[in-house]
Structure 1
Amino acid sequence: MKTILLLLISNIFMTFAWYGHLKFKDTVLWKVILISWFIAFFEYMFQVPANRIGHGQFTAFQLKTIQEVITLVVFVGFSVLYLKEEVKWNYIVGFVFILLAVFFVFKKW
């Protein structure tokens, strides 16, 4: 559970680092890049420990899969609440396919 929480926090930082600047298109690019790097530093402060703690309980493939699902969940919330974009039906279909991939990654064969 600690791994999941750390990955969640890291993804919140990373989503703001990668996409938060989209509301500030008048800001010069070099400033946006520096601010994004600053935010990404904090993402790494949670991402690296999450992977270190989680590896062993999960495989590296499973850790990456968990991280991607968390990224999508965080991004959907970010897009709707911060960027004011709508979730379309085809996005949901795509996410369902990703969840199907999660099933196969975690299935014990």
Structure 2
Amino acid sequence: MSAYWLTPLLLIGSNILMTFAWYGHLKAPAWPLYVAVLVSWGIAFFEYCLAVPANRIGYASGAFTGQQLKVMQEVITLGVFAVFSVTFLGEQLRWTYFAAMGCLVAAVIFIFLPVE
């Protein structure tokens, strides 16, 4: 599979895992803090198993620059979190969320413009 496809797919998977690592414990407020931290670390290990290869493949193949990888990851994170916050946390998306997403999409456009 091409690095142009594999990199974002791995980043999506890693962001899904990291979102649960960082915010999944909010649905279990009775857990002691140390349990939430240990569970989060356990999930984060598997997130790193996707994120590190994604970044190495994308960068080493020449498909993406480091800056492009970072901006792509941020947009993916916001998209994944939007779904998570609505479906898992039961929150509503407000107009401010969409405004922030628009700003990040603009960042993606700028970071992927050819340099002359």
TM-score per shorter chain, which class?
Answer: over 0.9
Deviation, structure 1 residue 3: 0.6
1:13 aligns with 2:24: no
- Partners of 1:71 and 1:91 in 2: how far apart? 13
TM-score, normalization by structure 1? 0.97
Instruction: Please list, as runs of the form range in 1=range in 2, the aligned pairs for 1:1-109 lying within 5 A after superposition.
Output: 1-55=5-59, 56-109=62-115
Deviation, structure 1 residue 95: 1.1
- Partners of 1:44 and 1:62 in 2: how far apart? 19
- Partners of 1:91 and 1:72 in 2: how far apart? 9
Q: Where in structure 2 are there 5+ consecutive unaligned residues?
A: none
Deviation, structure 1 residue 102: 1.1
* Percent identical residues: 54
TM-score, normalization by structure 2? 0.92
Q: Where in structure 1 are there 5+ consecutive unaligned residues?
A: none
